[in-house]
Structure 1
């Protein structure tokens, strides 16, 4: 059986006692610690997180403004039931692709989690990206951690009020831009902004802008770590995917314990490298103490690693007291990268990618629906012919106009009445009433199977074939 890394309950007395008698009971569970004053820290991993966050925000904010021809590059047009993604256009019948893509994302997340824990949460999750953005503005407008604590514990002053007002104004502006951008994926953002400025925006668009503005402001500005602790299900079932070979943020207790206080004491060889400065706790966005072991609240952002490394560098100790490592490495055992769990996720993910690519390559940019006329089963003419009527709905799912030809097979002498060629513009739907006729003498039974063929004249590989029924009189 695969061993799991145990999660510690920080509310328990054992967790409070920590690994050392020098541990301070003031270190509390994030669920009971109230407001968390996050300290700003610089370092290698924070630069990676900061650059990736700015890139993700730029992509989110910028995509709705980019054009692809005469339409937005990414546009989910609900009214027309068209979903434009770069050069491709998808329709409701293609929703199986959405399910497929979501499953790919899920398996990709599982694969990353098995390898490197919750790096998605620390570097790419929208909740973390926007929370760190809000915290960045908080640091710029309210100052360092110690000043924010001092101001909050002191009577309000004019400086405190304007700083907090500026911070919340910045938060609301970010949330507003976030809300407008989100709605811009469903309504062309250029027109949306013009409507907002002229106060002619549609009520539903205004509602959704307000909705996402409010919840962005609440989630990233006020709830923050509470979303990760109490609302995100991923933090609860992540341990199922962890094993002793998973790369996670860990504290090397064998090297750090027992703690030696803030002074640079080197005489006692039994004293560990940890000076109990609690800087790792102060920089943690969820307020945990990584020295208590792996906890479900850890989002793997590595802020504690950069903080601890900065302290180790100042006291001339090796870096990596807190680092990305595995449980087996901490125990001095070898770590295996490939293991059955990882192999299973990899095979499943690659198989789904291959199937998705094959499906997209085989996907025809044409959708046809054929329905028999329900009003009259058939008509008889004076010339002894039988006529059946059908309603053909054709949607051109390509990015260019096509001319199509319609034909029918299945009975001797079966032919179409009227024109059999027609043009359909790109992303247009056209409905046709089609009449098939055949000599009554070839009908040996009341119902025969016939097949309708539709093909593009300029691209014969774009074709559609569908079987239907041709009805006639009952012979006695």
Structure 2
């Protein structure tokens, strides 16, 4: 057995807990505002009402799995329109590429759910246990009554947030007030309770206990971001040429040769990832900007210019070191790569908008019934059977009529109806059995197959659509 097998602890080290210190500044304020907006939208959106008429749900945003619909304010997406969802996912991916290439990991630092809920959990932890020094002291203290009281209080608040998170998610899939009543009266389906339980546990574990480990070990984006960034990408960096050699600014011999960095570790103490940005670009950095706020505060106190840690590009660092001014921010943002991503993102968005506005409010699909392929009637005519599915995407019931071309060669009828007319309820799909007959001795009756076109026409409005299919004759024998 090797020495490595005998000492497995040499391969892995225990996690060092991170206790970020409270900091104030423009980036911390921006994060608080974005946190409030994101959480506000997430928790409150299912409760917004939107009047769509008497036959449709009045929840503004609803993923109706039972009826296979997605409602978003005035927009209703049907199952056959999944390309809208695919397009939105493509836009999200291109948007992530765009913002990463221009501004680094701004998604990770400001909008990612893991970051948002971790920030919220750290805020609760600070309220209950105090700022960094008190939390470090409590972590190292023995388990006495006070420590149990503080920990149980913190965990209880975390659990309440996690339950609210899981509960808010299920409200997007059913009428929120009705589902809430069913949940509290224990009348909801088991799927609702199990979904809340799973999301509660994942939110509590990932946001409360794992925190930065999710970003470092579970999330794939830190390993992909390198392909999206280049030397002109704005990201958080340390102006080493200005800060080194670092040291305490005391009135001592050689102090004049020190850089602006006083080695106070303020940037490290506020970092939610526990890294030292002065060590250079790192996979764990989420570019949240808190180290900038902390460093700027220290620079103000020691009378040095701000910006020792700042949003900057690697190409600017080389320019500043050589004594030349950095590029303007707009030149970093608007360059070939970002313009290309913007054009792609815009093209997909415009395509989706055009498709949304030109989509028809009625639709039809035709499926020939293959068993039997055709039926010979008593008068010698040939009959084919079809399953016709008609979509009425209007908010009220509509009357429709079917016809077939070429009309001189065929007749069409609908099962259960005196003629080829029928009514489709509001915002529903109706399946009808349809028969097309070719007279005895006609060309379609004798041929193997003939092309036919089935038309669907709305009687109350000038709406018309069609679907092409085939008619099977005696030649199929």
Whether TM exceeds 0.5 here: the answer is: yes
Q: What residue is the counterpart of 1:437 in the other structure?
A: 437
Would you say 1:447 and 2:449 are equivalent positions?
yes
Any idea what SS the aligned residue of 2:200 has?
Answer: helix
Shift of 1:358: 2.6
1:365 to 356, 361, 367: 361
Any idea what SS the aligned residue of 1:72 has?
Answer: coil
Q: What residue is the counterpart of 1:354 in the other structure?
A: 350
In the alignment, the residues of structure 2 paired with residue 264 and residue 221 of structure 1 have an alpha-carbon distance, to the nearest angstrom, of: 45
Larger proportion of helix: 2
TM-score (norm 2): 0.87
State the aligned residue count.
446
Structure 1: gaps (5+ residues): 1-29
In the alignment, the residues of structure 2 paired with residue 445 and residue 99 of structure 1 have an alpha-carbon distance, to the nearest angstrom, of: 42
Would you say 1:473 and 2:474 are equivalent positions?
yes
Q: What residue is the counterpart of 1:204 in the other structure?
A: 191
Is the 1:61–1:178 contact (alpha carbons within 8 Å) kept by the matching residues of 2? yes
2:410 to 391, 411, 414: 414
Q: What residue is the counterpart of 1:7 in the other structure?
A: none
Shift of 1:44: 0.6
Alpha-carbon spacing, 1:265–1:202, altered in 2? closer, same or farther (3 Å): farther
Give per-residue Cα distances to partners, 1:370-406, cap 9 Å, x unaligned: 1223334444455564433222111223444333222
In the alignment, the residues of structure 2 paired with residue 383 and residue 152 of structure 1 have an alpha-carbon distance, to the nearest angstrom, of: 93
Greater RCO, 1 or 2 (C-alpha within 8 Å, sep 6+): 1
Q: What residue is the counterpart of 1:52 in the other structure?
A: 34
TM-score (norm 1): 0.88
Q: What pairs up with 1:4-153 in 2 under 5 angstroms?
A: 34-69=16-51, 70-153=57-140
Greater shift in the superposed pair: 103-112 or 200-209: 200-209
Greater shift in the superposed pair: 190-199 or 414-423: 414-423
In the alignment, the residues of structure 2 paired with residue 411 and residue 427 of structure 1 have an alpha-carbon distance, to the nearest angstrom, of: 30
Q: What residue is the counterpart of 1:456 in the other structure?
A: 458
Q: What residue is the counterpart of 1:315 in the other structure?
A: 302
2:390 to 369, 388, 394: 394
Any idea what SS the aligned residue of 1:319 has?
Answer: coil
Structure 2: gaps (5+ residues): 1-11, 52-56
Shift of 1:264: 7.7
Any idea what SS the aligned residue of 1:275 has?
Answer: coil
Any idea what SS the aligned residue of 1:436 has?
Answer: strand
Alpha-carbon spacing, 1:432–1:475, altered in 2? closer, same or farther (3 Å): closer
Greater shift in the superposed pair: 251-260 or 409-418: 409-418
Q: What residue is the counterpart of 1:218 in the other structure?
A: 205
In the alignment, the residues of structure 2 paired with residue 379 and residue 345 of structure 1 have an alpha-carbon distance, to the nearest angstrom, of: 57
Shift of 1:32: 6.3
Give per-residue Cα distances to partners, 1:40-70, cap 9 Å, x unaligned: 1111111111101110111111111122233
Is the 1:262–1:277 contact (alpha carbons within 8 Å) kept by the matching residues of 2? no
In the alignment, the residues of structure 1 paired with residue 122 and residue 167 of structure 2 have an alpha-carbon distance, to the nearest angstrom, of: 21
Alpha-carbon spacing, 1:264–1:151, altered in 2? closer, same or farther (3 Å): farther
Alpha-carbon spacing, 1:68–1:400, altered in 2? closer, same or farther (3 Å): farther
Q: What residue is the counterpart of 1:192 in the other structure?
A: 179
Shift of 1:88: 2.2
Shift of 1:36: 0.3
Q: What pairs up with 1:260-271 in 2 under 5 angstroms?
A: 260-261=247-248, 263=250, 268-271=255-258
Q: What residue is the counterpart of 1:154 in the other structure?
A: 141
Greater shift in the superposed pair: 101-110 or 81-90: 81-90
What is the root-mean-square deviation of aligned Cα atoms in Å?
2.4
In the alignment, the residues of structure 1 paired with residue 23 and residue 63 of structure 2 have an alpha-carbon distance, to the nearest angstrom, of: 39
Greater shift in the superposed pair: 94-103 or 338-347: 338-347
In the alignment, the residues of structure 1 paired with residue 476 and residue 461 of structure 2 have an alpha-carbon distance, to the nearest angstrom, of: 43
Shift of 1:240: 1.6
Any idea what SS the aligned residue of 2:31 has?
Answer: helix
Would you say 1:330 and 2:317 are equivalent positions?
yes
Q: What residue is the counterpart of 2:9 in the other structure?
A: none
In the alignment, the residues of structure 1 paired with residue 249 and residue 162 of structure 2 have an alpha-carbon distance, to the nearest angstrom, of: 41
Any idea what SS the aligned residue of 1:136 has?
Answer: helix
Would you say 1:425 and 2:425 are equivalent positions?
yes
Greater shift in the superposed pair: 300-309 or 90-99: 90-99
